[in-house]
Structure 1
Amino acid sequence: MQQDGQRATGTVTGRALRVLEAFSSDRPVLRLTDVARRSGLPLTTAYRLVKELTCWGALEREDGGGYRIGLRLWEIAALAPRGLGLRELALPYLADLCQFTRENVQLAVREDLSVVYVERLAGRGAVPVLTRVGGRFALAPTGVGLVLLAHAPEGVQQRVLARPLTRYTEKTLCQAEQLRRALAEVRHTGVAVSDRQITMDSMSVAAPVYGPGRTVVAAVSVVAHAETVHPHALIPLVQVAARGISRALGASLTPEGVPAASA
């Protein structure tokens, strides 16, 4: 009880954010008591904040008495330049890539030590994936995550390398030195291949998306069946899509697809 009391002494903004963080992809609808329990707030505090957030539109109340995230938050989130703006510019290239490969196509950015998926298009008959738009995942085992981590600041890389790496399959890179070599390979080749690191039936090929200033701002990938698709068949297709998005964002690239020296 003492721990909950200490957690409840934060700012009003902090407590409101904890209410919103109580919702998740596996629990999108919560009753008031669930919100209080999952946020660690007293029931009376949770009631007041839920009421205020519902009046503002951040939460919506269902007929059964539960609450879910409201559309007002989507309207605010759409203003994020790394979200909707990036997605709108990238969608034509993602659609072409999905139509050509008939596999899952993903666009992601890095948020601290996580991958955040900005868009995902599902190909017909494509391998099932664990990701969703707006969802987060670890950097190390994903193709887009390897690209984003390989081009992240040294401090970010060291923080990831210093932490225990989660094993998803027998092929997941769980040793820091293995991951270090993989990141060097990504920087050398310009692409990342994540082969059955998350599920044993899938692999992904990813490439960096550049913005102005020669910085990597996102990564695009194709996730395909590991047993039927060879990574080398996907690499040039993913690179073409990544270059198209980069140019749409204002990046100046060489014919090889890397930022021009004058950019």
Structure 2
Amino acid sequence: MSRGSVTSRVLSILAAFSPERPALTLSAISHQTGLPAPTVHRLLGELAQWGAVERDEHGTYRIGLRLWEVAALAPRGLGLREAAMPYLEDLYEATHQNVQLAVLDGLEVVYVERIAGRDAVHVFTRVGGRWPAHATGVGLALLAHAETELQERAIRGPLRRYTANTIVSGTELRRTLAEVRRTGVAISDGQVETIALSVAAPVFGPADKVEAAVSVVVPSHGYDWRVLVPAVRAAARGISRSLGSPRAARTPSSAVRGSVERPDL
């Protein structure tokens, strides 16, 4: 690692930070990256001067706001979020549960926005966080419309299990993705946590390709998730129209693409 390029060294330092390690000392970064402490110290100084990292009075480093400002320029981040926010807010006001917007990155989803009420059901997701696509509602909605090669990669697995309800069979995943395409929504019931159920729908962009997915996460018991399907479809359609999707402009608001049944998990 120490013989790598300056760019690879800088990227390895930034990659040392994670949700589990949001704050690191110089020695910890040196240990995580395998870089000599003097090299880490010099590069951290340059990163701090630019604003990529911040150092507190105890000598601990954190990711700086300058990186957040740059990341916000990503077309699948800020632009998508701005188009989606009015519809996400409407969906939240109708449910007061977790409303989420995510994009696909390989076989994982990245959450670009989340709105949650104080009494909403617990979820592990956070803005900027990642989760395997096969275990989430937004992930299933995105995978169902992904390139065939990527779908086959997911189906070949391995598929990590989180609960007894998690899809871990390639055959089951293939069937589930076909059902998502048929109905226009994805239902993920207790796949990440047994207490939570997600209803998700794909968001289409100007080329009528799926660019994101929107979801509502509610308690898996004592909540009639079927009443959420029209609202989630409508939110996804509204965001798609804002992004310039031709198919969304042609779809009447009363369109129903198919009946939705609770998944047999």
TM-score, reference length from structure 2: 0.92
* Percent of aligned pairs sharing the same letter: 56
Residue 84 of structure 1 corresponds to: 78
Q: Deviations over 1:166-191 (max 9, x none)?
A: 11001111011111111111111110
Matched, 1:100 2:94: yes
Query: Cα distance, 1:148 vs. partner?
Result: 0.7
Query: Could you say what secondary structure the match of 1:73 adopts?
Result: helix
Structure 2 counterparts to residues 19-30 of structure 1, below 5 A: 19-30=13-24
1:257–1:42: structure 2 CA closer, same or farther, 3 Å change rule? farther
Gaps of 5+ in 1: 1-6, 259-263
CA contact (8 A) 1:107 1:117 kept: yes
- Aligned CA-pair RMSD: 1.3
CA–CA distance in structure 2, aligned partners of residues 94 and 257 of structure 1:
21
Residue 197 of structure 1 corresponds to: 191
1:207–1:250: structure 2 CA closer, same or farther, 3 Å change rule? same
Residue 262 of structure 2 corresponds to: none
Structure 2 counterparts to residues 194-233 of structure 1, below 5 A: 194-233=188-227
Query: Could you say what secondary structure the match of 2:134 adopts?
Result: coil
Residue 52 of structure 2 corresponds to: 58
Structure 2 counterparts to residues 128-167 of structure 1, below 5 A: 128-167=122-161
CA contact (8 A) 1:108 1:220 kept: yes
CA–CA distance in structure 1, aligned partners of residues 134 and 105 of structure 2:
13
Query: Could you say what secondary structure the match of 1:140 adopts?
Result: helix
- The aligned amino acid for 2:106 is D
Residue 231 of structure 2 corresponds to: 237
Count of aligned pairs? 252
Residue 261 of structure 1 corresponds to: none
Residue 70 of structure 1 corresponds to: 64
Q: Which moved more, 1:179-188 or 1:44-53?
A: 44-53
Query: Cα distance, 1:147 vs. partner?
Result: 0.7
TM-score, reference length from structure 1: 0.93
Residue 180 of structure 2 corresponds to: 186
Query: Cα distance, 1:257 vs. partner?
Result: 8.0
Q: Which moved more, 1:199-208 or 1:11-20?
A: 11-20
Matched, 1:122 2:116: yes
Query: Could you say what secondary structure the match of 1:55 adopts?
Result: helix
Q: Which moved more, 1:45-54 or 1:108-117?
A: 45-54
Residue 113 of structure 1 corresponds to: 107
Query: Could you say what secondary structure the match of 2:135 adopts?
Result: coil
CA contact (8 A) 1:193 1:231 kept: no
Gaps of 5+ in 2: 258-265
CA–CA distance in structure 1, aligned partners of residues 132 and 71 of structure 2:
22
State which of 26, 37, 40 in structure 1 corresponds to 2:31: 37
CA contact (8 A) 1:59 1:68 kept: yes
